Amino acid sequence: HAVGSQVGEVLLYYCYCEVRDPEKLCAWQKALCQHLHLTGKVRVASEGINGTVGGSKVATSLYIKVMLSQPLFKNILCQEDFKRSAGGAHCFPDLRVGVFKEIVPMGIDPKIVSYKETGIHLSPQEFHREVEQYLSQATQGQSDTILLDCRNFYESKIGHFQGCLAPDIRKFSYFPSYVDENLELFKDKRVLMYCTGGIRCERGSAYLRSKAVCREVYQLKGGIHKYLEEFPDGFYRGKLFVFDDRYAICSNEDIISACRYCGVLWDQYKLCSSQHCRQLVLTCPSCCNKGLTACCPVCQEKALKVTSRASGRTLKEECECTRRRPRVPIEHVSPRMLDTGK
C-alpha cells in the first residue's frame, strides 16, 4: 500500500449531466477508486455525479485525468471543477459509491426542480465584489440584498461570510421548507448564495427561483473552496467545514465560534462521546479533560447510564440539541439587522 503513504490530497467535485445507466457508472467509478486506492464518498444518479475522494497526489491526479476523459463528462467537467485540499486516503473511513435519486440530498425530485434552472454563477472575484458592495450598503441600512449561506448550522457556526444569513437547519433537505416558511424575507431581494463547493447552490438556487419572489438569484461558482483559493483573507471568516475526518480546513486565523461549555474561542469539532449520538460538539481541551465530552447534559447523562449498564441495547439519538431546535426556523429579522461585522 505504498501509494497511500505519502502526503496526499482530498478532491471535491460534482458534475450535472444526463446519466442513462447510473448502475453502470457506479460500477465503473467503484473500480476506478479501488484501483487508485482512493477512499471517500461518491453519489451517482441519473442527474450526474458528486464525489469527495482522498488518496496520494499521484492517485488524485490520475483520477482527475480519467474523469476528464470519460465520455459522459467530456466538455462539461474541467480541471477547475475539482477542488483540492491537503489530506489523503486517511481522511475517510472507507470507500462508498452508490446510486441515489439525487446527487445532493435536497429531497425534491430532480424532474420537478432541475439544476438546469439554477441561479447566475459568479466567479470568486465577482462574488467578492458583490459582497464588498453588500457590506458597505448594509452598514448604511439600505441593502436590497441577502447573502445566504445554504449549508447546515454546524457548518456556518465555525466559518461564514460576514453579514450572511445562516439558517439554523440541520440538513439540506430542510432547505426547501426553510424557503417556503420565509418567503416574505426573499421578496424582491437580490440573493447571493454560497455553499462549500457549489453543488447545494445548484439545486437550492433553482428551488428559490421556482418560487418567483426574488429579484435575482446569484451563486458562488466553486463554492467557498474556490473563493478561499483566491481570497484566503477575504470576507469569509473562520474555518471551512468539510464532510470527512478532518472536519475543517483553515485559511485564516480567525476563530468565530466558542466552546459549548466554557465559552472560550474554539472551533474544532469532535463527535459527541455518547455512542448513539451523531451530533458534533465544540468542547475545548480543558473542558474535555474535565470529562465534558458530550453535546449536551442529556447525552452526558446517557453516556454514564450506558457505561454502568453495559447492555447491548442501542438508544435512539434524542438529546437536547435535537429537541430544542425547531426543524425549520422562521426568521424574525429584517435583513438590516443582520450582523455585518465579524
Instruction: Judge contact between 195 and 172, C-beta under 8 A.
Output: no
What is the pLDDT, as a whole number, of residue 1? 41
Strand ranges in 225-329 using DSSP code E only, listed in sequence order: 236-238, 240-241, 248-249, 269-271, 280-282
Cell of 35: 484501483
Report helix, strand and coil shares of the chain as percent, to nearest 5.
Answer: 35, 20, 45
Number of H helices, E strands in the chain: 11, 15
Determine the Cα angle at 181 with ends 177 and 182, to 5°: 115
pLDDT band at 4 (very low <50, low <70, confident <90, very high): very low
Full set of structural domains in the chain with CATH: 9-99 (3.30.70.100), 120-249 (3.40.250.10), 258-306+317-324 (no CATH)
Query: Which amino acid is residue 230, in one-letter code?
Result: E
Q: Is residue 316 classed exposed, middle or buried when 0-12, 13-18 and 19+ CB atoms within 10 A define those classes? A: exposed
Mean pLDDT of 123-150: 91
Cα separation, 299 vs 280, whole angstroms: 12
Provide mean pLDDT across the span 38-61. Answer: 97
Work out the pLDDT band at 107, boundaries 50, 70, 90: very high
Q: Which residues are catalytic?
A: 195
| Distance (Å, whole) CA 79 – CA 11 | 11
In whole angstroms, give the CA distance from residue 221 to residue 317.
36
The better pLDDT of the pair 296, 215 is held by 215
pLDDT band at 6 (very low <50, low <70, confident <90, very high): low
Confidence of residue 334 (pLDDT cuts 50, 70, 90): low
- What is the C-alpha to C-alpha distance for residues 155 and 247, in angstroms, rounded to an integer? 9
pLDDT band (50, 70, 90) for residue 342:
very low
Q: What is the percentage of the chain residues whose pLDDT exceeds 90?
A: 77
Give the integer Cα–Cα distance in Å for 16 and 116: 9
Predicted confidence band at 5 (pLDDT cuts at 50, 70, 90)?
Answer: very low
What is the pLDDT confidence band of residue 340, given thresholds at 50, 70 and 90?
Answer: very low
Element (H, E) at 48: strand 48-56
pLDDT band at 314 (very low <50, low <70, confident <90, very high): low
Confidence label for 140 from pLDDT (cuts 50, 70 and 90): confident
Task: Give me the pLDDT at residue 188, please.
Answer: 94
Across the chain, mean pLDDT equals 90
- Residue 84's pLDDT band (boundaries 50, 70, 90)? very high
**Candidate from 98-112, 170-184, 246-260, 319-333 with smallest mean pLDDT:** 319-333
Give φ, ψ of 227 to 5 degrees: -60, -45
Cβ contact 93:245 at 8 Å: yes
pTM of the full structure: 0.88
DSSP state of 165: B
- What's the mean pLDDT in 29-53? 97
pLDDT of 308 > 70? The answer is no
Q: If DSSP codes are grouped into helix, strand and coil, which group holds residue 223?
A: helix
pLDDT at 297: 85
Share of the chain above pLDDT 70, in %: 91
User: Does 3 have pLDDT greater than 50?
Assistant: no
Whether the pLDDT of residue 309 is over 60: the answer is no
pLDDT of residue 321: 81
Compare 239 and 326 and report the one with higher pLDDT: 239
Of 85-89, 309-313, 335-339, minimum mean pLDDT range: 335-339
Task: Return the pLDDT at 116.
Answer: 86
Mean local confidence (pLDDT), 333-341: 49
